[in-house]
Structure 1
Amino acid sequence: MQVTSIPRTVHRHVEVDGVRVFYRESVPDRADAPVLLLLHGFPSASHQFRRLIDALGSRYRLIAPDYPGFGNTEAPADFTYSFDSLADITEGFVERLGLTRFVMYVFDFGAPVGFRIAGRHPEWIAGLVVQNGNAYEEGLSDGARHFISLRPETPGDEDIVRGLFTLEGTRGQYEGGTADPEAVSPESWLLDQHFLDLPGRKEAQLALAFDYHSNVAEYPQWQAWLREHTPPALIVWGRNDMFFPEPGAHAYLRDLPEAELHVLDTGHFALEERLPEIAPLIADLLDRVWS
């Protein structure tokens, strides 16, 4: 019986400006293997990519950090949570690892983090995998627009945001929109909730929620970057995403007309249900970029 190659995955920390950044990384068979930087979403962390790392890590170097306020990364008590600061730490993480060229996978919060980094270092970006990572106003549902309009000084708005930090809210983000909820491992949303319930984590997420409007303000800059640099791109989208609906996927084609687009019948966390379809598409992009 032939067993599919399973990669060695290491789990490490690196210090970046006072933040102890946790990351997981596959050790491929080739030292010069293509590199894929995996940028996670809310309310998750690098563990959302563990099955993708198992699927592709023997052939490619997959690297997935946890942002400050997420997963196993440890930030000082006085850390200021904003999307700029998440990008700053992730940029420093990339520099500490000595990465100079990689394909970047952006999902959910990973899009505002990743596009900020791309704007600062376009020479780093060999290609893009966009999975329900929004950069266009068409990709905002009515619910997302309302969420972005919330402000800390408005009575009741903080309570609305905190409603997302419950076990019910976390589970709903994973199972909502899926064709087969049984394909979603409960450990995913249970682990996310564990981290959300740690001291100080809900306050960190609250600050990021109220900063989300800063991302929408930067959409025109990110779109201009895409038009200027036209990186090879794979766009994979769960069409039943309650936050970022399907028009957000098609909008990328305005600025990246050569991008490969696949819209799948699933929800926000598309990898949970559709990994067997998505992993070969990513492998194909990596092979083309590094050929």
Structure 2
Amino acid sequence: MTANEWKNRGTFIEIFGRQVFVIDEGNHEQTMVILHGYPTSSFDYYKVLDTLTKRYRVIIHDHLGFGFSDKPIDYSYSLVEQADIALALWKQLGLTTITLLAHDYGTSVATEILARYQKNQLTIHIEKLTLCNGSMHIELSQLRLIQKLLKNKLLGKHVTKLTNYPIFAKNMRNVFHNKQTVSKDELRYMWEQLLYNNGRKVIHLISNYINERYFFWNRWIGALKEIDIPTKIVWAKNDPVAVFKIAEVLSDEIPNNTLLSIKNTGHFPMLENPEEWLTAVLS
């Protein structure tokens, strides 16, 4: 599937004056909402969406600054504001009960939502939670050099100007366990979406989320320790960034959880090993 074909499957919904790209498929009572990772988009789920929609109504949106959504310069790109966008979108779509699935960057948007949920600040009910390969325990994460450079407030905007497709493709391949699993076409489609809507201008801004993971550590990890939501931790064992140790620590902390591992798979299990990922998520 091409990036343009994926775009044609979705629609744009205005949230707080910004255009948010949304995929909304499946006709079922149960609804799964998905929060995607960095620096990609909802396109990460193109291999698994059709199977997920056999059981759920599935809603995936591109966070602001990502994919086909707006990429304004005058925006904080705080994970807190990304949570505001997600919650406003789900409210606009009339959702009352959800299964929440989050991967990578999306797991920190999810933990902000969970922090509010624990304080009874939401009207939506989270029935189940699935967390996949995210560096919520940022102190355990093995950040890539490019991530460290982009999150730097002084260097980030300069590194952005030097970033090109070969650098992007190399860094993406390096987070797959089998580097040949991701095709040249897939990498090109990811790159197209990264650049869409003048996306190059905001790459360093969306990369600031790593700093927020330190700043809000107590709020977000605290929420995970208190949640009473049945939680599934689905983790690719060979992730070089969000290492498996993070999953083990989360499993020790989250009260009601099941830890499921996927072997011989890197940071994007829904792309690298979609069948095993689906088995774990839907089990």
Band of TM-score, shorter chain = 0.7 to 0.9
Q: Partner of 2:279 in structure 1? A: 280
Equivalent of 2:101 in 92, 96, 105: 105
CA distance in 1, matches of 2:176, 2:194: 23
User: What TM-score, normalized to structure 2?
Assistant: 0.84
Number of matched residues? Answer: 270
Q: How far apart, CA to CA, are the structure 2 residues paired with 1:146 and 1:25?
A: 31
* Secondary structure, aligned partner of 1:278: helix
Give the 3-state SS of the residue equivalent to 2:127 in structure 1.
Answer: strand
* CA distance in 2: counterparts of 1:89 and 1:160, whole angstroms: 28
Within 1, Cα distance between the matches of 2:15 and 2:75? 12
Q: Match for 2:94: what amino acid?
A: G
Distance (Å, rounded) in 1 between the aligned partners of 2:210 and 2:266: 21
Asked if 1:26 corresponds to 2:25, the answer is: yes
Structure 1 runs (4+) deviating above 6 angstroms are none
Q: Any stretches of 5+ residues in structure 2 without a counterpart?
A: 1-7, 119-123
Measured in 2, the distance between the counterparts of 1:21 and 1:146 equals: 25
Matching residue's letter, 1:175: R
The SS at the match of 2:152 is: coil
Q: In 2, Cα distance between the equivalents of 1:41 and 1:139?
A: 18
Query: Equivalents in 2 of 1:239, 1:160: separation in Å?
Result: 30
Q: Quick one: structure 1 residues 73 and 266, their matched pair in 2 at CA, closer, same or farther if it must change by over 3 Å?
A: same
**Separation in 2, partners of 1:148, 1:108:** 18
The root-mean-square deviation of aligned C-alpha atoms, in Å, is: 2.7
Identity %: 23
What SS does structure 2 have at the residue aligned with 1:268? coil
Q: State the SS of the aligned residue for 2:47.
A: helix
- Whether the 8 Å contact between 2:227 and 2:255 is mirrored in structure 1 is no
Q: CA deviation at 1:116?
A: 1.2
TM-score normalized by the length of structure 1: 0.82
Secondary structure of residue in 2 paired with 1:80: coil
Q: How many angstroms does 1:277 deviate by?
A: 0.8
Shift of 1:212: 2.5
Change (3 A) 1:239 1:77: same
How far is 1:180 from its partner? 3.4
Corresponding residue for 1:271? 270
SS of the residue corresponding to residue 205 of structure 1 reads helix
Structure 2 equivalent of residue 11 of structure 1: 10
- The alpha-carbon distance between structure 1 residues 160 and 204, as it changes in their structure 2 partners (threshold 3 A), is closer
For the pair 1:66 / 2:57, whether they are aligned, the reply is no
Structure 1, gaps ≥5 residues long: 1-8, 285-291
Q: Once the two structures are superposed, what CA deviation does each residue of 1:138-164 show, in whole Å capped at 9, x if it has no partner?
A: 5311647982895323xx45444666x
